[in-house]
């Protein structure tokens, strides 16, 4: 780890060359790795000289930069590191996330604000639409609450919609969350999430591969998605259209050899079509957060947090005390304790759409209010308390 309390002057000098090469024009993760493979440390890339640069077929613009790096910008990066709670990791350091280092193009540097230790804890990514339904937001928040209460760090991209709901769910359960940004960490994007970003810095971590002063750019967000999936054991997609950026994250997770989970919805809901496409392609259909915990326990025995028991978690007990909306009470009133009822029957009795009933049942199941029975039917658990 490099932060202001631990680095020596030599560390600072070495880091300066990492930062300088990181800012070189058209040097992405793959090119950065090739340069280090050919020359050794970043300092040696700058010291190599024209003959070796030509042998590596580096273009004239990059060679000009290597002769005269942007040291003023590097000094700003080092000044950023001096602030409390700020960290910079290079991929040759032990604290660099091991899972992220396994991917094809891991970022050479990570800028972090907050709790650095969270990057080494087991993480689950939750992503989805920037314009979800209210039920989709509620579902993401409930899943994040449950999973964070079970000990998983919830990782997402702090975008509007499902991302924000996932971060808030983790925070609501007094769990941990990581936001991976498509900007430098001096910028909060979207700006309306300034308060959320502050909470994440205090109770989680903000992470970026971009220098602190980097503004938002469209091309950065697909790149940041590989970090979200790369640090995580699995990725859950809650709601997504067929053109959603969340499908990029899911595809990258698959390419990285990680698990992909998707929540189904109504065949008439465009926000469910992306999830259905993922399920057709092999993603695991998820009906409850416990489904995810059981699946991931098999992949990282000894590392995965202990699964909750069949009893309700403290988070669910708290949620159960919350007053339900009238439509949820109406739905529960149509169900007998231990008496199975199909979704079609509930639609007919309540006058709600199949999409609405399916989403409400998912949330009620998370809260321990209903049981999902074989054959796709449901039964109420206990009395209706509202």
Q: Per-residue pLDDT averaged across 14-24, rounded?
A: 96
- Is the pLDDT score of 128 beyond 80? yes
Q: Are 210 and 183 in contact (CB under 8 A)?
A: yes
- Is the pLDDT score of 164 beyond 80? yes
Say which CATH architecture domain 116-299 belongs to: 3-Layer(aba) Sandwich (3.40)
- Is the pLDDT score of 318 beyond 80? no
Q: What is the mean pLDDT of the chain?
A: 87
**The pLDDT value given to residue 229:** 97
DSSP 268: T
Distance CA 300, CA 314 (A): 24
User: Largest Cα–Cα distance of the chain, in whole Å?
Assistant: 81
Task: Report pLDDT digits (tens) over 205-244.
Answer: 999 999 999 999 988 998 999 999 999 999 999 999 998 9
pLDDT class for 311, splitting at 50, 70, 90? very low
Going by C-alpha positions, the residue among 72, 371, 90 that lies closest to residue 213 is 72
Break the chain into its structural domains and give their ranges.
Answer: 1-84, 116-299, 323-380
- CATH fold, domain 1-84, is DNA polymerase; domain 1 (1.10.150)
Q: Are 21 and 46 in contact (CB under 8 A)?
A: yes
Q: How is residue 133 written in tokens?
A: 């339904």
Higher pLDDT, 338 or 275: 275
Q: Write down the residue that tokens 């700006």 correspond to.
A: 191
Distance of CA 380 to the CA centre of its chain: 33
pLDDT class for 298, splitting at 50, 70, 90? low
**The pLDDT value given to residue 341:** 84
Q: According to CATH, what is the number of the domain 323-380? A: 1.10.10.10
Can you give the pTM of this predicted structure? Answer: 0.78
Higher pLDDT, 199 or 383: 199
End-to-end CA distance of the chain: 50
């Amino acid at each position: 780890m490099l932060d202001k309390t631990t680095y020596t002057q030599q560390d600072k000098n070495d880091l300066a060359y990492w930062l300088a090469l990181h800012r070189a024009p058209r040097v992405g993760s793959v090119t950065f790795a090739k340069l280090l493979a050919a020359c050794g440390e970043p300092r040696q890339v700058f010291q190599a000289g024209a003959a070796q640069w030509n042998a590596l077929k580096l273009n004239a613009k990059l060679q000009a930069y290597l002769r005269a790096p942007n040291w003023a910008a590097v000094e700003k990066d080092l000044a950023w590191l001096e602030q409390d709670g700020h960290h910079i990791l290079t991929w040759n350091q032990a604290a660099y996330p091991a899972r992220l280092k396994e991917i094809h193009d891991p970022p050479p540097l990570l800028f972090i604000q907050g709790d650095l230790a969270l990057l080494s804890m087991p993480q689950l990514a939750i992503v989805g639409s920037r314009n979800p339904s209210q039920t989709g937001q509620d579902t993401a928040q409930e899943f994040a609450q449950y999973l964070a209460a079970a000990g998983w760090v919830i990782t997402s991209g702090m975008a509007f919609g499902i991302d924000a709901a996932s971060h808030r769910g983790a925070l609501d359960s007094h769990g941990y969350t990581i936001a991976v940004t498509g900007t430098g960490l001096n910028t909060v994007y979207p700006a309306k999430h300034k308060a959320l970003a502050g909470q994440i810095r205090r109770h989680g971590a903000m992470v970026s591969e971009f220098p602190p002063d980097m503004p938002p750019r469209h091309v950065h967000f697909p790149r940041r998605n590989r970090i979200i999936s790369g640090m995580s054991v699995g990725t859950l997609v809650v709601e997504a259209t067929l053109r959603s950026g969340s499908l990029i994250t899911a595809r990258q997770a698959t390419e990285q050899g990680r698990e992909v989970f998707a929540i189904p919805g109504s065949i008439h809901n465009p926000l469910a079509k992306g999830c259905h496409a993922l399920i057709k392609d092999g993603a695991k259909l998820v009906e409850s957060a416990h489904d995810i915990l059981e699946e991931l326990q098999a992949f990282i025995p000894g590392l995965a947090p202990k699964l909750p028991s069949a009893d309700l978690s403290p988070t669910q007990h708290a949620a159960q005390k919350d007053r339900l909306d009238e439509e949820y009470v109406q739905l529960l009133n149509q169900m007998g304790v231990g008496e199975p009822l199909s979704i079609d029957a509930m639609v007919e009795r309540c006058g709600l759409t199949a999409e609405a009933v399916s989403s409400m049942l998912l949330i009620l199941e998370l809260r321990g209010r209903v049981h999902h029975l074989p054959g796709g039917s449901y039964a109420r658990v206990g009395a209706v308390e509202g």
